[in-house]
Chains A and B, each alone.
Chain A
Amino acid sequence: MKKHKRDVIISYGWSFPSLILIALMVVFPIFYTAYISLTNMNVYHWFDFAVVGLDNYFRALFVFDSGFLSALFATIVWTVVNMVLQLIIAFVLVSLLNIQKLKLRKIYKTLLMFPWAMPGYVSILLWKTGMFNTQFGLLNQWMKKLGYEAVRWLSNDISAFICCTVVNLWLALPFMIMIMDGAMQSIDRSYYESAILDGADWLKRTRYITIPAIAPIISPAVIITVFTTFKQFDVVYLLTQQAGAKTGSGFHTILTYTYENAFITNNYGYSSAISIIIFILLLVLSARYQMKEGDR
């Protein structure tokens, strides 16, 4: 018992430097943001700010207007569509990669990981100018060759949503493919051999062996991806809402919407209050998911 206690203390002792780093880099910013949200820290009170209570939270409610609600709805649709497509496409690609006796498997895998190796910012702008640009983009070059008029791909809500989804899938698929591939390779081959002997076809093998076997392994990756997709900023902002390069689309996620309606004010108290509300929103969603996981 004494030895166990000593082991625990020693383990915490060794982990202490990393725990301090985690506290400084993850926990401290959250608490500090919560503290700032209770102050009047803005351009006019940058260093001499004072606690003003919940004022910023009351003001923040004005940002949560009809525009915010439609952005919230768009964000939920965006998250669901992206997650469903990511899971389906990753599953199909990984299934193809795991076909026995597939030649050049490693080359395909490397190619599929390629988007991950490129900085997101560069990838998004390359898609914007290289693919979707009305004048020089590849899509419109093809349209011209086929005798059609040039299309402004990013100018209306629906086509901008589709373009953003394509780019987001391009950026996010390598992660899902890697996790799913690892999960699929960990399934014991003997299950499939028995199933084949029992006469199970591909669909049945997938439904009764593959999916149940990979589900617990990929679920942390799915949770991470749900949150990264929900709080997506870069793809939507850089493709359609970037200052000086707006395309005319009204598609906003909650983060791009709040950026335009709060964060640009340089009012850190007010912006922090909005961040905390969004943080709580995500926390509630996360807690609901965790509870469902726990029930299982």
Chain B
Amino acid sequence: MKRLLSIFLCICLLLSLSACGEQTLGAAQAKKLVIWHDKEDAVIAALEKYLTSATPDLEIVFEKKSSLTDSLKLVGNDPSAAPDMFIFAHDKIGVFAEMGILAPIKPLLEEDSLANYIPMTLDAATYKETLYQLPLYFETLLFMYNRRYMQKEEVPSTTDDLLTYMKNNTGRGRYGFVEQHSTAYYFAGWIHGFGGSIIDENGVPFPNAKAVKDALNYHSQFVALMPGETEYNTVNTLFLEGKADSTIGGPWMVSSARAAGIDLGIAPMPTVNATGKALAPYSGIQGIYVLNYAAKHKTEAVKKLLAALTDPAIGIDLAMASGCAPANSLCYDDERVAKDELVQSMKATAEIAVPMPNIPEMDVMWTVVGNLLTDVNMSGKDINESFDAALAQANQLIDAMK
């Protein structure tokens, strides 16, 4: 028995080693496309349904990966382990393009197929003048409120109004407004509202130091009126349980808010009194990427799939399925999309939103800004000292990337 088991194990080992060798693609394999993603079920169900009818001769397999980017860093150039394509936000384009695993998208598309795309989505998907992602939809943060507690006339148009509302409506376990105040993705809107940015297009961290410090200083008044811990689960639960009157959250919160029976209102972002600029959150452009191997060896299948995805029909399906805003402007001609409050709010906010930087240096800035916010908001450290420490850490980490 032991001998048989040993022989079996030896055979398994040899087979797995032999599988590492180069293989030529059969006809069926050339039509099979594996797509990794980390999206919610509604988005993938809409894509699957549409692609089944739009590309019946292709076999498309969607695989959900929770740590998609880390997995791609490890196997991105290994055809036996990597997918053919993947769906992800645009902010990792720089990292993957520099690694050399992405294929440029334009040569795989028909001419003029991008003519109707919203320019902001194409700009965000472009790195060093090359388009590496076919945008599908975009999302951004929205100002949401519970109509049961915040009346329409109380919806703040400026940040000072919001602060006054918070002062009047916070206490005894209730909050006027909650947000993930110490998370870079959420605080970016405040920095932009003060005219600053986390990093510029040349990879320089905090190009406008004063704006960041002003934003931190002003924002601290709001932090004092929010719970100490404001990570994703706490903020969501407070809003969904009706303990917070308003919040800034993503479109992914909408379905759970409606399911929780919240009478949900969506309003434009308040304007910062000191600058006259609205809080401008980051926008994320979700789209599909093609890996080099698939672009070279499964060219026809990839072209067919991309052509199908440039059709406005899929944008409309996605908007209806999950409330996301399509990248193709033709989708907004559809009556259902035009009437959808969520999609229209997203489109309106996207006009002021700032696409997340897609340069590789941004990868370390999430941590740097997170540390800065934690120091100032949660540990009560001095803003100037914390900012200097964050700038030094940013420079050290960016230098260490090379």
Contacts and interface: CB of A to CB of B under 8 A. Distances in A.
Interface string A228-268: 00000000000000111111101000000000111011110
A32 interface: no
Given A46-B99, A135-B229, A247-B378, A270 B400 contact: yes
A247 B229 CA distance: 7
A43 B95 contact: yes
B174 to A, nearest CB: 11
Interface size class of A (residues with CB under 8 A): 35 or more
Contact of B370 (A17, A46, A155, A243): A243
A142 to B, nearest CB: 16
A69 interface: no
Interface string A131-172: 001111000000000000000101100000000000000000
Contacts of A43: 95, 98-99, 360, 401
A245 B363 contact: no
A219 interface: no
Contact of A264 (B6, B185, B238, B397): B397
B370 A246 contact: yes
A185 interface: no
Contact of B227 (A59, A134, A244, A270): A134
Interface string B346-382: 0000000000000010011011001100100111000
Nearest to B2: A14
Interface in B227-251: 227-229, 231-234, 237-238
A44 B98 contact: yes
Interface size class of B (residues with CB under 8 A): 35 or more
A62 B395 CA distance: 13
Given A62-B396, A248-B378, A264 B228 contact: no
Nearest to A248: B378
Contacts of A155: 228-229, 378-379
A211 interface: no
A266 B379 contact: no
Contacts of B401: 42-44, 265-267
A244 B13 contact: no
A245 B227 CA distance: 13
Interface string B70-112: 0001000100000000000000000100111100000000000
A284 interface: no
Contacts of B101: 46
B68 interface: no
B121 interface: no
B232 A245 contact: yes
A286 to B, nearest CB: 28
Given A43-B95, A244-B183, 17 more contacts: A17-B6, A18-B9, A42-B402, A44-B401, A129-B233, A134-B234, A135-B227, A155-B228, A246-B371, A246-B374, A246-B378, A247-B374, A248-B228, A248-B374, A261-B397, A264-B364, A267-B402
Top-4 shortest CB links A-B: A248-B378, A245-B231, A46-B99, A246-B374
Interface of B: 6, 9-10, 13, 73, 77, 95, 98-101, 180, 182-183, 185, 227-229, 231-234, 237-238, 360, 363-364, 366-367, 370-371, 374, 377-379, 393, 396-397, 400-402
19 contacts: A18-B9, A20-B13, A43-B95, A43-B360, A44-B98, A44-B401, A133-B234, A134-B228, A135-B229, A242-B231, A245-B231, A245-B232, A247-B374, A247-B378, A248-B378, A248-B379, A260-B371, A261-B393, A267-B401
Interface of A: 14, 17-18, 20-21, 42-44, 46-47, 59, 62, 129, 133-136, 152, 154-155, 242-248, 250, 260-262, 264-267, 270
